[in-house]
Structure 1
């Protein structure tokens, strides 16, 4: 009888974990879909994502962090490319996102001209302030300002001859006060509600480059949001002694603006946050995970390592020091203990049009979910004994 019960428990746990992965894939499909249009600055992509996350928190039964609304609104400036995005080199039309990208601060232009070669990869049109650079790999980003020049990065494999004649028809639109929202929720603790474990992930991505090309952002960071939402649903069903809080930040890609705003206008007292775990790009894992701030918080990092050794969740957990590379950073600067976790290995798509849900392996997604729930339980036990 005991063996039968054990077998049934194992089967049940695998079924539940499998369901978590199915849910995660569905979430990533939605967040990186054409409907969300890169969760950025055109076609209301970021707002659609914010509404989806808010509705998910509500459906799971979480409470708004301020008791009224899941959204914490703010605004910032951004340069966008909502319309025309045409480039011809030597009479050959190139495809935005695949064959070329722009430096995100570039101004719009409509010109025909010639290029002068400066070195093996750099070409200029001084009259129109155009710089063209040949690249082996294209990555894109966003910028909070617009410049008086245009920088074009072209995939070297997209052209067979050196660029001499150039034709551009590019439209940009500078938005001085783009409205955005952090999405903030919590599950109140059953015993120590004033002690908070906070889980964060940014939901914004790059948006679009012209009217036909968008950046899906499946790994960066639909994967982190999916894991956060899975954890939020889990803790809504299983309230903990400590309050479990969740924030999906906007404006990470443009310089951590959303998380900076929250630390300057907190909806919870920062000194009540006992630990923060930030999730960004967690859709792979063949080579394990890396933990930023591991060297700053050695006791918490050893707890994470010990849990992983005991349960054999991940192939490796790598330690990294302090870094200003995601939304944990401004919390760290305010004295909030925090880790930033990201997976390693697998696909190399990053800030490009190839970061797709259908090619995201989610290799260690379930194991990372289990490790995090164990880690949070271990943190509460360790903190309560101090």
Structure 2
């Protein structure tokens, strides 16, 4: 009888756990979709993502962090590539994103010429003002500055020895690009003036030309999906402390959204008991890494104690202070913070192969349990 009851309980429990995964994957697919266009700076991708997140917060029953609006607007300069993105080397047409990327600081150009070899991987056409670099892996980024040349990175195995080049690249520098941090709150039941905060950047690289976008599934649709699942959980089960959920823009451009937030905080930063930043949490075969672990030994020990007791994750790896995600400016302001990312699994990063279909979400359920238990212990 006991075995039958146990089996029945497991069958009943499974859909509840699975629903979290279904919810997360649906959000992940939406944020990584062509409609969002890489959550960047062309085709209104970033604004569409901000609207989706704020609408989701509202649907879950959260309130604006500042009491008025889910969105915190700010602006910054950014270089964009909204149109033509055509390249031929040695007469062979190359595919944007797969065979080549344009360096993000580049100016647009329509030109052709002969290439002069400078070393084993660098080729230039000095009179035309462009440079070609051969790369083993293409890794794109975002630039807030504009160079006086056009740079192209080409996948080594896509071509032979580069000799001639033809290109037609459209580029537009925006001096005052409008963006929003998206911020929401679940009010605490006993200590509403104390906050536990979850953050994740929702921006990615956007599009390169009119036909190529960077989905950014692991970086960082995974973190936003996890954060929104946490937001839904706490909206339905308000804890003692208030829970804030912040999705930042401008991370890929230099942590600009989190920097702006800490300089213009809608809540007093001293009221934050602890902050957990989530970035690239779509894997987890080998566990998680916790940045700032040595700065907060009590909280890091608590994480490990919970994990040792329940065996949620394979390993929790400590890492020191580093300015590699949105926790950084909070730490600089004296806010206790961890930055957590999962380890193992796929290696796609800042490329067109960071797709939702590649993410196993190996540690999703267990990381969710670990962090909710951690929050519970933290609030005692």
TM-score normalised by structure 2 residue count: 0.98
Q: 1 CA distance for matches of 2:8 and 2:60? A: 27
Q: Which residue of 2 aligns with 1:56?
A: 56
Aligned residues: 380
Residues 46-105 of structure 1: per-residue CA shift (max 9 Å, x gap): 000000000000000000011111000010000000001111001001011000011110
Measure the CA separation in 2 of the matches of 1:103 and 1:225: 27
- Say yes or no: does 1:219 pair with 2:218: yes
| In structure 1, distance between residues paired with 2:2 and 2:95 | 63
Partner in structure 2 of residue 127 of structure 1: 127
Aligned to 2:201: 202
**Once the 2 structures are TM-superposed, how far is the Cα of residue 217 of structure 1 from its aligned partner?**
0.3
2: CA distance, partners of 1:94 / 1:228 = 38
Question: Where do 1:65-214 residues align within 5 Å?
Answer: 65-159=65-159, 161-214=160-213
**1:3 Cα deviation from its structure 2 partner:** 6.4
SS at match of 1:351: coil
Q: 2: CA distance between counterparts of 1:269 and 1:309?
A: 34
Q: Equivalents in 1 of 2:353, 2:322: separation in Å?
A: 26
Give the distance between the partners of 2:196 and 2:164, measured in 1 at CA.
Answer: 57
Q: For 1:353, what is the secondary structure of its paired residue?
A: coil
TM-score normalised over the length of structure 1: 0.97
How big is the shift at 1:17? 1.2
What is the CA distance between 1:10 and its match in structure 2?
Answer: 3.8
Measured in 1, the distance between the counterparts of 2:187 and 2:6 equals: 33
Q: Secondary structure at the match of 1:14?
A: helix
Task: Tell me how far apart the structure 2 counterparts of residues 322 and 329 of structure 1 sit (CA, whole Å).
Answer: 8
In structure 2, stretches of 5+ residues that fail to align are none
Q: Equivalents in 2 of 1:50, 1:291: separation in Å? A: 27
Separation in structure 2 between the aligned mates of residue 41 and residue 177 of structure 1, nearest angstrom: 11
Aligned partners of 1:305 and 1:17: how far apart in 2? 23
1:5-28 alpha-carbon deviations (Å, 9 max, x no partner)? 655444433321111001101110
Question: Partner residue of 2:353?
Answer: 354
Please report how far the alpha carbon of residue 252 of structure 1 lies from its aligned counterpart in structure 2 after TM superposition: 0.3
Q: What's the offset of the Cα at 1:109? A: 0.5
**1:359, distance to aligned residue in structure 2 (A):** 1.4
**1:233 — aligned with what?**
232
Report what 1:258 is aligned to: 257
Offset of residue 170 of structure 1? 0.5
Shift of 1:358: 1.1
Looking at structure 1, the residues matched to 193 and 355 of structure 2 have their Cα atoms a distance apart, in angstroms, of: 40
| Counterpart-to-counterpart distance in 2, 1:209 and 1:37 | 10
TM superposition shift of 1:366: 1.0
- Give me the whole-angstrom Cα distance separating, in 2, the residues matched to 1:194 and 1:247: 17
Q: Distance in 2 between matches of 1:316 and 1:79?
A: 40
Report the Cα offset of residue 378 of structure 1: 1.1
For residues 310-329 of structure 1, the aligned pairs below 5 Å read: 310-329=309-328
Secondary structure of the 1:166 match is strand
